[in-house]
Structure 1
Amino acid sequence: MICGGKSYVSAPPAFSNDAKRLLVCTANSVSIFSTSTGLQITSLEGHKALVTSVTVVPASSQASKMLCFCWTTSLDGTIRYWDFSVPELMKTVDIQLPVHSMVIPSLLGQPLERDSKSRDLFAYVSVENIKVKDNKPVPTGGQILKCNLTKSRMAAGVILAETQQPEYITISSTGRFFGIRNKRKIHVWKVPEVESESVGAKRITLHHTKDLTVLAFHPIQRMVAAGDVTGRMLIWRGFGNRTFSVSGKETGKKSFEDEDKPGVRGNDDADSCSTWHWHPAEVIVLSFSFDGTYLYSGGKEGVLVVWQLDTEKRKYLPRIGSPLLYFTDSPDPLLASVSCADNQIHLLKMPSMEILKSISGIKLPCSFPDVCQGSNNGFSFNQNGGLVALRSENYSIQFYSLYDDCGICEVQICERNHQPSEELTVVVTVVALSLDGSLMSTAEVRSPEDGIGGLICLKFWDSELENKRFSLSTVVYEPHRDGGISALTFHPNRRMAVSTSYGGDFKIWVCNDGRQKIQGEQNSSWMCHSVGSYKKKSMNAATFSADGSVLAVAAETVITLWDPEQNILIAVIGETLTPIVNLSFAGDSEFLISVSQGSRPQLSVWSMTKLSVSWSYKLHVEAVACALDTSSFAVLALIPESVRLQFNDSTFQGRDGVILHFNANDPVPQNTWSVRKAQGGGLAFLRSKKSSNSSDGKFDHPWLVYINGDHEYTLFDPSGKEAQELSLTKQGSYHALEETGGKFGYQAIYGELPEFDSKVDQTLSAPSVPSQRPWETIFSGSSHELPPLSKLCSAFLESLLERRTVTSE
């Protein structure tokens, strides 16, 4: 069984202490990637529900950078402690409440040298409050609670806040303050100097006129920033000077009087509040740089903005291509990451913000206009290559390997910049692949502006099987004048395709046989071969028989059979109660599978020898998959809500669909599996060669792949025992971490120096440098090749010093 397709952006990632690993929350596990290669190294398996946060235990000195421990939280109600270098589970804390977020202040304040009076480790968690009603757990809202991780128990009676829903907790880099946003307010707590189960935390509240979306703490000053739904950013300076005791470096700072607090609303405890505005929509990302000089912000427009705090000047990382979700700093000031809504994590070289590597997951489902809702749910399968093609919001098609669980390439269908989802003007509606994967066809719709300028475009693409890169071959504007394209399908063994239209016709397209090469590049073009229609009825689906001799086209509630070569109507069979939206030939074209949706859905199996229905079921079918070499097929059907309401939740356990595996000759299913997130899902049979060096080209028995509505998938053998339960746990090979020696001083900034050869007579080349102290050659060389001493010496001396954390009383 092969599983994959998980989201990498459900929660913020975390860097290891040496910045060589990135820990990513991935469904019920934590995937660990190498920051140098972008490949997965290992994973932490054990949680039973979605992992919501990961907190790496920081190192206290240069020598302990290899410390590889972390805490994770999950909706399964547990907090777990891991050694992720092995990986190994060290401890489990069961609090029996779904945990959405967690911070551990003492890890940031004094990592390994906690006060002897406070040896217990405390965490503040954001949980979902669950109450039992009618013997059923019912979520009632969110709470901020205190947890003793050392003794594995909650602090009794300590409830810091109650919210309408669980909120994400943000903590300052020093561990002194943490806060949440709550509608139009920000709650900020100060962590007590001495932690205990009976001591809570002092709190202040800052107010705003709009709903707030995100907040961030300054690493040095008493400053907190927040973003709102309108794209504005507010910065409160000197917060908590009246409520929180002032100590250390902040002692003696002037606090504004109540009547002299510019920008502060009401009696809020802050010295001043300023407002910045650049983003056109809500602010989603907000983070200060490690030294507090810059503020990073981002949102739906897909642009990372860098603000200089002193001057308010801006610079940008544009054209990322997707809304931003999280910005994460690393212990290495030259490395950071930004997570995007298209399931990608980009590793950035700071401060230039150059994208070094990208960790790409499968494209997540996105909301498209109703005009593009087709029967294939936005993806198509390459059955021979084990690939799936998915459309995305940035006008591209992603090719994803189901066997390797990684992206192969992306094809930009329309050359346009990323736009927020509510402003989409061009949408890819249908995508289809040929049987061998060398051809692709797409349909796109350009929405009219003020009723003018609407356009439907059909495109054909060619590729070489070796490099999997597609190039545009032919563009057809307005292929069907009276309606949009409802379906696309390719001939099984010829360069022929069919497009159907809601307007009442279908067109057969053929590619020129003489594929000439112009200037070293392959050139091919497609042209319309013939046009067909049936009583001006809407054509909703089409499919070719196994040998391509018969073309079946659904004309609303009837099925029409055509000779594609001569475009002659052969027969008209059956009639369903609601329009047919999907057609597929099963076996050696002995049977035809039709799917009707609507108020009276139906799955029908038609006999091609008798031209009549063989058997049928009243099912709401979401997807159909037919094996190419056998008579078996599978359907993904939704379980009616009325049926689920008749039973309690323990019967279905969140499963809303069922996969039925049939032989076309028998109405009794051979296998059945209940699945989750069936709506918007898909099915396909895939063929894999017996071995990579097989010369006969024969294929092993087919595999069945199920993709759910969140684009998580399971690939399994439907005839094997391992297919009895569909789990979503990755079982794949991992890549080794490329261990490289630590670079300090000159090498960390300017690269490696030539190797020192101890056999060379140093008295001839550098008489002033003792041969027993070769490290001093770092300052040798021509003056124009070395940086100024003001830069070089400080970095070199810093690498020789041991960092120690000092806290003021």
Structure 2
Amino acid sequence: MARARSTPSERAANRARDDDDDDDRGGGSRASDDARVTAGGAVFARSGAFCDDDRVFVTVARASVRAFDGATGRALGGAAARGETTCAAASPETTAKTIVSGSSSGILSVIDVERMRVLRRHDIGFAIADVAYPGGASGRDFVYVSATAREDGGGRILRVSLSKGKIVEKLGKTNEARALIASASGGFLACAERRTISIWGVGKDGGGSSRALRIHHTKAITALAFSRDDEILACGDSSGRIVMFHGFARAVRKLQQEARGEETEVDRDALPSTTSHWHSRAVGCLHFSADGAHLFSGGEEAVLVIWNLKDGKKTYLPRLGAPLTKIVARRDDPSRLALFGSDNAVRLVNVASMSVEGTIQGVRPTVLDLDRESYASVVTYDPRAEVVAFSAAGAALQFFDHARDEHIADLAVAPRNYVNTSGEADSPMEAHVAHASFSPDGRVLLTVDRRSDQPSTVTRAVEETLKIWERLHVDDDREGEGEGEEDDATGSVNVPGGAFTCVAQCDIPHTGLITCVGVRPSARSVTESMAFTAGAEGEVKFWVPNGRVSRGGEHAGWRCRSSATHPSGTGVTCGAFSADGSILATAAREIVLWDPKTNAKLATLTMPKTSGEGECASVKAVAFIAGHPLFAAADGKALVIWNLQTLQPWRVYAAPCVGLYAHASMPMFAAVFAERKDQKEIAVVVRFIGADMMPSGTFACPDGAPEAVLFPPADRASRDASAATTPMLIVTRDRQIVRIGAETNAEARARDDMDVDAPAVTKSFPGGVAVVGAPVNPELARVLKEAEASVRAMRLNAEGEDEEDVPERDRVIGGALNGVGKMPWGALFEAPSHELPPLTSLCPRFMDAMLVRQINPNAQ
């Protein structure tokens, strides 16, 4: 598809215009707080359409509309939209090059897909959930919208004129906004709510279109489809049955002629119907072929079922990888379908050859059930390929290029086919990758996958396998070829940055579930590499290469060199190597610093109490600060930054910190503070920069604590550690990737190649910046304001006291601590032994106190 490319000056103007729009909606943001959604999120599960002679396939993608090649699925570009884009519908003419999209902010946009440019926008005043553009008998000017009313939160079915840019008719009400379907002729519109189908005649000769025919069913309706000749309406229900109602068009016309606007309840038995049943669970989608001879259906079985309406025979296209949620057909070649899957993918299928010709894959959704203790999410960064790795269904790792917003490859850690389960509490555990960690150079990858054939209600037994992968002797000329495919000769799997080979595998490496893993940085070669694993039984194991090398150049395996146990015997919750690899920190209720070379215990740290109530909580996260002798830990009640030279708390933030993420080479880390109120969690990400670890920015994630905070290479930003523009990626719970700060060189090249300009999505206001387009509300503003106030209150000295007289290591944020700081000596020696400062700090203080007492006998 030919498309005019914008110049750098035009893109700069677009950015300025977007910034102006953000200023109008909530105040301008600083350059350091620039936040843009670059990739991820639920991109393809909502809506899409073929247009421009079926050469272009369009889907909605968060705050933009994305265009792909209709035959291969190759990305072509995108157009920015205002608000969270929820739906899109193609122009009714086959040769037309425009689509209509709707957003949660109530904006209806008309977009030219050839140039990917917004032609005009209309604000209808309601949050749009779905849009239908039937054309035909309905006319080219009218669009039908399913929206949420502001006054009561219920749904509304609206008729909108594109030429007038306003609502011209309200067709009906629903309990909540529902999906719409329109007939190919443009004469009928329908939606389903619970067990009732509502059908409107919207053609030019249909009279008042607000007169609806209502058909009742015995089960909850999950899918609808009109036949091309308007003779059959098919509905799928929650039990897996497909019911086809015949003669609905005549009933609608008769109703319009006789009822004079009064809606009439019609029982399902009033219309002739036939029932078919193959699906074992709810029907996810339905679609009639253009010739009316076949009906396509899909659901949780990940199988496309092709029904022959004449003789009732069925044909199947199985193993599609995920439950099917929607079917869209090309107009010039109805045998080619676009199948929407719950794995955030669209598969381009040819039913004539029964093959998948292309796949448009987004970031796969999490496979985790957060209510199950044995499940854990994985989001990590591949430093060699400069892409993000996500845990995915089937015990795989998905490599995703956040700069280009495209799927790159899959690494089948423990290959598993998709298995249909009910998703209930007694369902077997879905195999998944529970832990993954790269070495800083990306040459070593450690993974832990879990599986169980029995549900947790039957047994708590979960099988774990530890695998260690290596990238060795990568041929740069071959990188990127056959990505995600296995090399039969070497058994390696090609992914970005080079092929991975599994060089070690250990079944059941710990007696308990593994809780954290890591690969040591600063290894000059793979032979000097080291990894650690820690388990719920309190044991820490160190893994090293065994020294043997195979013919392919990789090591023949790794071995467990040694192990150690935490003093308290409780389960290890987290761990991390220092930036130079000289120290390993593991934490349970206490924090232990180990020498990874000798297994020697260097020190034991105990989180100071920020209040006199409650027991000591388990540490939730630890991180070393690169380039400085500083170490951070969080237990859900406070964030403590330790000075490793004195083993003293250096900074203490009395706030509910639940996560820590440190930069690999720069003195920078991000802390996640989460507050739960009224059964809703609001999380704030605070970035700390520089030798003083001062907070430099506050970012809110209204949907709760993010899955991860990542730091890509800062090759485009300043190398100065205090530069607030250093890039940072926030991965939200729905796996949107939000970039904070300046883009990297790789991102800049990708944007120039794709000619896509991601609009800013931040909303700035006093107290911080809300990312991912979060609405500004008083509650969120209050949380951010309190968070910023707490992290900037760096000292609690008495009024008038000269802060220079107080050593920095004694300054406490958020409240006084027992056993540390400027305490009277009597109270200090009466404190429990685990609260005493180390001797390296205690002796100098004691000597200083003795000298002070000689000068002033009354001194404490």
Query: Would you say the 8 A contact 1:624–1:682 is kept in 2?
Result: no
Superposed CA deviations along residues 717-763 of structure 1, whole A, max 9, x for unmatched, are: 3xx6x99xxxx9999245599xxxxxxxxxxxxxxxxxxxxxxxxxx
Tell me the equivalent position of 2:697. 671
Task: Give the Cα–Cα distance (whole angstroms) in 2 for the partners of residues 731 and 142 of structure 1.
Answer: 40
In structure 1, distance between residues paired with 2:122 and 2:697: 39
Match of 2:84 among 27, 49, 65: 49
Q: Does 1:31 align with 2:60?
A: no
Which runs of structure 1 show a deviation greater than 6 angstroms over 4 or more consecutive aligned residues? 728-731
2: CA distance, partners of 1:46 / 1:221 = 34
1:125 counterpart = 2:157: no
Residues 70-219 of structure 1 aligned to structure 2 (within 5 Å): 70-105=99-134, 107-109=135-137, 121-131=141-151, 139-155=152-168, 158-194=169-205, 199-219=208-228
Aligned match of 2:559: 527
What residue is the counterpart of 1:441 in the other structure? 446
1:690 Cα offset (Å):
6.8
Deviates more, 1:380-389 or 1:23-32: 380-389
Distance in 2, Cα, partners of 1:682 & 1:622: 12
Gaps of 5+ in 2: 1-33, 257-264, 480-494, 609-615, 718-723, 757-860
Q: Higher mean Cα deviation, 233-242 or 704-713? A: 233-242
Distance 2:53 2:173 in 1: 37
2-structure distance, mates of 1:201, 1:530 = 75
* Paired residue type of 1:379: V
* Residue matched to 2:738: 714
Shift of 1:659: 2.6
Q: One-letter code of the match for 1:273? A: S
Cα gap change, 1:14/1:510 in structure 2, threshold over 3 Å: closer, same or farther? same
Map Cα deviations across residues 262-320 of structure 1 (whole Å, 9 max, x no partner): xxx97447542222222222111111112111111111221111111112222222112
1:592 alignment counterpart: 631
Give the conservation status (yes or no) of the 8 Å contact 1:57–1:70.
no
Residue 128 of structure 1 deviates from its aligned partner by 0.6
Please give the alpha-carbon distance, in whole angstroms, between the structure 1 residues aligned to 2:111 and 2:353: 34
Question: What is the root-mean-square deviation in Å for CA atoms of aligned residues?
Answer: 3.2
In structure 2, the residue matched to 1:479 is: 509
Letter in 1 for 2:358: K
Per the alignment, do residues 346 and 267 of structure 1 end up closer, same or farther by CA in structure 2, a change over 3 Å counting? Answer: closer
Q: CA deviation at 1:53?
A: 2.4
Deviations 1:98-147 (A, max 9, x none): 12122234x133867xxxxxxxx23332111111xxxxxxx421121222
Farther-moved stretch of structure 1 (506-515 vs 442-451): 442-451
User: Does the 8 A contact of 2:85 with 2:101 survive in 1?
Assistant: no
**Against the structure 1 CA distance between its residues 734 and 630, is the aligned structure 2 distance closer, same or farther, given a 3 Å change threshold?**
closer
CA distance in 1, matches of 2:112, 2:206: 25
Q: Tell whether the 8 Å contact from 2:572 to 2:586 is kept in structure 1 after alignment.
A: yes
Offset at 1:447? 2.7
Deviation string for 1:764-788 (max 9, x for gaps)?
xxxxxxxxxxxxxxxxxxxxxxxxx
Deviation for aligned residue 1:92: 2.5
Question: For residue 664 of structure 2, what is the amino acid of its counterpart?
Answer: L
Structure-2 residue corresponding to 1:759 = none
Instruction: Give the distance between the partners of 1:84 and 1:543, measured in 2 at CA.
Output: 48
Amino acid at match of 1:583: V
Partner of 1:8, secondary structure, is coil
Cα separation, 1, equivalents of 2:297 and 2:705? 35
Separation of aligned partners in 1, 2:419 and 2:68: 30
| Residue of structure 2 equivalent to 1:254 | none
CA distance, structure 2, for counterparts of residue 703 and residue 193 of structure 1: 55
Quick one: which amino acid aligns to residue 323 of structure 1? P
Tell me the equivalent position of 2:711: 685
Structure 1 portions without partners, runs of 5+ = 60-64, 113-120, 132-138, 248-264, 646-654, 692-699, 738-809
Distance 1:733-1:419 versus aligned 2 partners, 3 A rule: farther
Q: Are positions 1:497 and 2:508 aligned together?
A: no
Is the partner of 2:136 in helix, strand or coil?
A: helix
* Aligned pair partner of 1:561 in 575, 589, 593: 593
Shift of 1:705: 1.5
Structure 1 pair 246–635 and aligned structure 2 pair: CA distance change class (3 A): closer
Q: Which amino acid is the alignment partner of residue 150 of structure 2?
A: I
Tell me, yes or no, if structure 1 residue 223 matches structure 2 residue 232: yes
Indicate if the aligned counterparts of 2:396 and 2:412 stay in contact, CA closer than 8 A: yes
Aligned residue number for residue 238 of structure 1: 247
Q: By how many angstroms is 1:242 displaced? A: 4.1
Matches of 2:315 and 2:220 in 1, distance apart? 26
Q: CA deviation at 1:557?
A: 1.7
Q: Is the 8 A contact 1:57 1:71 kept in 2?
A: no
Q: Deviations over 1:178-207 (max 9, x none)?
A: 2111111111222243478xx334422222
* Paired residues of 1:186 and 1:205 also in contact (CA < 8 A): yes
Which residue of structure 1 aligns with residue 751 of structure 2?
A: 732
Structure 1 pair 386–95 and aligned structure 2 pair: CA distance change class (3 A):
same
Aligned equivalents of 1:87 and 1:93: distance in 2? 17
- Is the alpha carbon distance of 1:369 and 1:311 closer, same or farther for their aligned partners in structure 2, counting shifts above 3 Å? farther
Residues in 2 aligned to 1:242 and 1:498: alpha-carbon distance in whole angstroms: 70
Question: How far 1:444 sits from its partner (Å)?
Answer: 2.4
- How far 1:440 moved relative to its partner? 1.8
> Deviation of residue 542 (structure 1)?
1.6
- Which one-letter code corresponds to 1:708 in the other structure? T
| Separation (CA, whole Å) in 2 of partners of 1:661 and 1:148 | 47
Deviation of residue 474 (structure 1)?
Answer: 2.2
1:508 aligns with 2:547: no
Percent identity, aligned pairs only?
A: 23
Report SS of the residue matched to 1:633: strand
* Alpha-carbon distance change, 463 to 277 in structure 1, aligned in 2, over 3 angstroms: farther
Q: CA deviation at 1:448?
A: 5.3
Equivalent-residue separation in structure 1 for 2:463 and 2:368 (angstroms): 20
**Aligned residue in 2 for 1:615:** 651
1:241 aligns to what SS in structure 2? helix
Q: TM-score, normalised by structure 1?
A: 0.76
Map of 2:641 onto structure 1: 605
Distance 1:730 1:416, change over 3 A: same
Equivalences for 1:214-613 in 2 at 5 Å?
214-245=223-254, 267-268=267-268, 271-333=271-333, 334-368=335-369, 370-371=371-372, 377-420=377-420, 422=423, 423-425=427-429, 426-447=431-452, 449=454, 450-451=458-459, 454-464=462-472, 466=476, 467=479, 468=495, 469-481=499-511, 483-492=512-521, 493=523, 494-517=528-551, 520=552, 522-535=554-567, 536-554=569-587, 556-575=588-607, 577-588=616-627, 590-597=629-636, 601-613=637-649
Q: Which structure ranks higher in relative contact order (CA pairs < 8 Å, sequence separation ≥ 6)?
A: 2
1:499 CA drift (Å): 0.5
- C-alpha separation between the residues in 1 aligned to 2:144 and 2:750? 34
Deviations 1:188-233 (A, max 9, x none): 222243478xx33442222211111110011125101111112211
8 Å Cα contact 1:234-1:274 kept in structure 2: yes
Which deviates the most, 633-642 or 538-547? Answer: 633-642
Is the Cα contact below 8 Å between 2:656 and 2:674 reproduced in 1?
yes
State whether residues 234 and 243 of structure 2, in contact with CA within 8 Å, keep that contact through their aligned partners in structure 1: yes
What is the rounded CA distance, in whole Å, between the counterparts of 1:282 and 1:560 in structure 2? 51
